[in-house]
């Protein structure tokens, strides 16, 4: 029983840590299926993490913080769409620029809003929302049903986005734009509008992941706190073969690696910390070689489309 409880605890941690990467991955997925390769998730998450704290601080509610973060994400998404869809700039370069912009803008705004202090401004943060009865299930109850609301949202989005992409007409339209925009265009689908919408909605979801880092797991903003999760999400999308459930599995495997390194360090068996830091990445590579056959990306991913 004790062992089972411990495993339940690991699962709880795994799910909680996977949520932000999952959200970022799902947001990127929407963009990818519309044919846009956005590597700027890290930057979007950073500005969202700051906006969430700022919103929560000034409006006094963590939900309004989340809203502000999503708005900031939408603005970044719009910027990306203007540059890559309308002006047809190189998507990788613009994505890299978004990362730099997100890092520096969040750093600067953090200093302007909260000053240069050795303490941090603490704000209202998400609380655990226990689901009655279900959270009492032994072992997995707490892991699945005693999380923060945004974790439920993240995992509920998996079937929702899957249904949208693969079972609805707008989803089919979105995918056809990503596969072959010219054909989609001739069939009367507004390619540009589809890509704009996908980018803005996608960035909003990515931003929710960033907001969870600062107001879910913690209750403050620290510079560069996203610490590479935006890139992990990029990898998770490919690892997950451009399917929502695949991204979920990828995010959970990666974070399971972090749980393993936590356990190993506490156990104190003398493994150098540098090796522990590698575990999530090694685990992901192993999983990738064992389980993943070739991931098939949308055919027109990363290619700018010029009408007419």
List of residues contacting other proteins (CB under 8 A): 9, 13, 17, 20, 79, 82-83, 86-87, 101, 104-105, 107-112, 115-120, 122, 213, 217-220, 222-225, 227-228, 258-259, 262-263, 265-266, 268, 273-274, 276-277
**Shortest distance in whole angstroms from residue 114 CB to other proteins:** 8
Query: What letter does residue 294 receive in the DSSP assignment?
Result: -
> How near is the Cβ of 139 to other proteins at its closest, in Å?
16
Query: How many other β-carbons are positioned within 10 Å of the β-carbon of residue 205?
Result: 26
In terms of CB distance, is 225 or 234 closer to other proteins?
Answer: 225
Nearer to other proteins, 183 or 263 (CB): 263
The per-residue DSSP string of 152-200 comes to HHHHHHHHHHHHHHHHSHHHHHHHHHHH-HHHHHHTT--HHHHHHHHHH
By beta-carbon proximity to other proteins, the closer residue of 210 and 298 is 210
Q: Residue 278 CB, nearest distance to other proteins (Å)? A: 9
Integer Cα distance of 290 and 268 in angstroms: 30
Residue 147 phi, psi dihedral angles, 5° rounding: -110, 180
CB of 156 to other proteins, least distance (A): 22
Nearest to other proteins of 161, 211 (CB atom): 211
Closest CB 307 distance from other proteins, rounded Å: 12
SS3 string of 43-96? HHHHHHHHHHHHHHHHHCCHHHHHHHHHHHHHHHHHHHHHHHHHCCCCHHHHHH
Say if CB 112 and CB 57 are below 8 A apart: no
- For residue 55, give Cα distances in angstroms to 47, 62, 202: 12, 7, 21
Q: Which is nearer to other proteins, 98 or 205 (CB)?
A: 98
Picking from 197, 227, 196, the residue whose alpha carbon sits closest to that of residue 210 is 227
- Closer residue to other proteins, CB minimum distance, 112 or 133: 112
Query: Any residues with CB less than 8 A from the CB of 267 and at least 6 apart, and which?
Result: none
What minimum distance in Å lies between the beta carbon of 46 and other proteins? 11
CB of 75 to other proteins, least distance (A): 8
Measured from the CB atom, the residue of 179 and 219 that comes closer to other proteins is: 219
Give residue for tokens 């997950």.
240
């Amino acid at each position: 029983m004790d062992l089972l409880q411990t495993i339940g605890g690991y699962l709880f941690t795994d799910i909680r840590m996977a949520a932000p990467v999952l959200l970022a991955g799902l947001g990127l997925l929407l963009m990818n299926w519309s044919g846009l390769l956005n590597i700027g998730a890290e930057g979007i998450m950073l500005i969202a993490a700051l906006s969430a704290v700022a919103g929560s601080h000034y409006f006094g509610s963590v939900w309004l913080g989340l809203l502000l973060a999503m708005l900031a994400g939408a603005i970044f998404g719009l910027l990306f769409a203007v540059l890559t869809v309308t002006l047809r700039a190189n998507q990788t370069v613009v994505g890299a620029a978004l990362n730099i912009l997100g890092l520096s803008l969040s750093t600067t705004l953090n200093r302007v809003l909260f000053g240069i202090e050795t303490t941090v401004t603490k704000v209202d943060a998400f609380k655990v929302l226990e689901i009655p009865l279900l959270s009492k299930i032994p072992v997995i109850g707490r892991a699945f049903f005693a999380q923060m609301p945004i974790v439920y949202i993240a995992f509920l989005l998996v079937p929702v986005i899957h249904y949208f992409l693969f079972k609805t007409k707008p989803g089919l339209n979105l995918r056809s734009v990503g596969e072959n925009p010219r054909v989609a265009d001739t069939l009367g689908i507004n390619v540009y509008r589809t890509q704009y919408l996908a980018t803005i909605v996608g960035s909003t979801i990515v931003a929710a992941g960033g907001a969870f880092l600062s107001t879910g797991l913690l209750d403050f903003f620290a510079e560069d706190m996203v610490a590479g999760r935006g890139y992990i999400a990029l990898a998770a999308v490919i690892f997950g073969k451009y399917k929502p459930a695949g991204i979920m599995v990828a995010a959970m495997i990666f974070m399971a690696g972090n749980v393993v390194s936590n356990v190993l360090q506490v156990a104190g068996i003398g493994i150098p910390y540098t090796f522990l830091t590698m575990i999530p990445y090694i685990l992901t590579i192993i999983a990738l070689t064992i389980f993943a056959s070739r991931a098939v990306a949308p055919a027109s991913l990363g290619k700018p489309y010029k009408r007419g």
